[in-house]
């Protein structure tokens, strides 16, 4: 079951990551901050969302796997926060069919991908009662606070590292700093579901999001 995977990936032993928070957060009344942090692909997808109103007048998240970065946007597609994230250890844009029903010990290294796509995500809980944001429940993929249960993985140091290769460590879930999760992620999903756009690292973004080529600016 998907919950079985998250029981391993999302235990209760969590530590704040304030010293490792690598991002920006908009203050009330500001138009936008940190727009220079947006990658080219993130800019293209945001423009497509603006043009098509694909976010359905709600705040939304964009996760750029190539940059190992998560962006939070408000309902008008203005950037409200950004942070470094940890991602699936394996590169790729697809989930292995049925992976959410397999014991975590049976998930091979090459199968530990963070899937790309457009996901209607919602807040929920893992089997230990920790709140997470389910991106793809059936595949066991969620956004959650950074895990520190295995010191040998050095996840806090990985979040702080400027090396993108250091960000690939999870079974597919998106790890974010604790302070960022509380300040930026939870409020988006507090009372409603919201869209999460995970950018591909191998496929063209126009293919993943059914974008007309003219919409990618």
φ, ψ of residue 139 to 5 degrees: the values are -95, 0
Q: Give 5 or 190, the one with higher predicted confidence.
A: 190
pLDDT at 127: 67
Neighbouring CB atoms inside 10 A of 217's CB total: 10
Q: Is the pLDDT of residue 28 over 70?
A: no
Q: Is the pLDDT of residue 29 over 70?
A: no
User: What's the structural domain count of the chain?
Assistant: 1
pLDDT at 173: 93
pLDDT at 14: 32
Q: Give 187 or 215, the one with higher predicted confidence.
A: 187
- Of all residues in the chain, the percent with pLDDT exceeding 70 is 79
- Domain region containing 171: 2-215
pLDDT at 69: 96
Query: CA distances (Å), 75 to each of 53, 61, 194, 195, in order?
Result: 9, 10, 10, 11
Q: Is the pLDDT of residue 155 over 90?
A: yes
Taking the C-alpha atoms of residue 162 and residue 5, their distance in angstroms, rounded to an integer, is 29
pTM score, whole prediction = 0.82
Q: Give 25 or 86, the one with higher predicted confidence.
A: 86
Query: CA distances (Å), 160 to each of 13, 45, 121, 132, 181, in order?
Result: 20, 26, 26, 22, 16
User: Are the beta carbons of 44 and 170 closer than 8 angstroms?
Assistant: no
User: Are the beta carbons of 169 and 91 closer than 8 angstroms?
Assistant: no
Least confident of 18-22, 108-112, 132-136: 18-22
User: Could you tell me the CATH number of the domain that includes residue 111?
Assistant: 2.40.440.10
Neighbouring CB atoms inside 10 A of 152's CB total: 5
Determine which helix (DSSP H) or strand (DSSP E) holds 72, and give its type and residue range.
strand 69-73
Taking the C-alpha atoms of residue 117 and residue 107, their distance in angstroms, rounded to an integer, is 21
Mean pLDDT over 49-73 rounds to 96
Q: Is the pLDDT of residue 150 over 70?
A: yes
pLDDT at 183: 96
pLDDT-derived band of residue 5, with 50, 70 and 90 as boundaries?
Answer: very low
> How would you classify residue 63: left for phi > 0, otherwise alpha for psi between -120 and 50, otherwise beta?
beta
pLDDT in tens, 202-217: 999 999 998 754 343 3
Neighbouring CB atoms inside 10 A of 143's CB total: 22
- CA 29 from chain centre, in angstroms, equals 26
pLDDT at 55: 95
Average pLDDT, the chain: 83
Mean pLDDT over 91-106 rounds to 78
Query: Closest Cα to residue 89, out of 3, 162, 153?
Result: 153
pLDDT-derived band of residue 129, with 50, 70 and 90 as boundaries?
Answer: confident
Report which DSSP code applies to 146: P
């Amino acid at each position: 079951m998907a919950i079985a995977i998250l029981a391993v990936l999302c235990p209760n032993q969590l530590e704040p990551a304030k010293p490792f928070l690598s991002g920006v957060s908009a203050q009330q009344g500001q138009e936008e901050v940190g727009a220079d942090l947006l990658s080219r692909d993130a800019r293209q997808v945001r423009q497509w969302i603006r043009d098509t109103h694909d976010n359905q007048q709600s705040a939304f998240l964009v996760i750029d796997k190539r940059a190992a970065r998560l962006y939070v946007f408000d309902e008008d597609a203005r950037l409200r926060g950004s942070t470094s994230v940890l991602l699936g250890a394996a590169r790729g844009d697809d989930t292995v069919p049925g992976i959410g029903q397999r014991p975590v010990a049976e998930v091979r290294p090459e199968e530990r991908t963070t899937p790309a796509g457009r996901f209607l995500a919602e807040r929920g809980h893992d089997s230990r009662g920790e709140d997470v944001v389910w991106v793809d429940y059936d595949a066991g993929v969620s956004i959650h606070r950074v895990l520190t249960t295995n010191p040998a993985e050095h996840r806090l140091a990985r979040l702080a590292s400027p090396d993108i290769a250091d960000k690939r460590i999870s079974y597919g879930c998106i790890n974010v700093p604790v302070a960022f999760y509380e300040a930026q992620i939870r409020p988006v999903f507090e009372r409603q579901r919201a869209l999460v756009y995970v950018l591909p690292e191998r496929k063209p973004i126009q293919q993943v999001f059914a974008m007309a080529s003219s919409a990618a600016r």
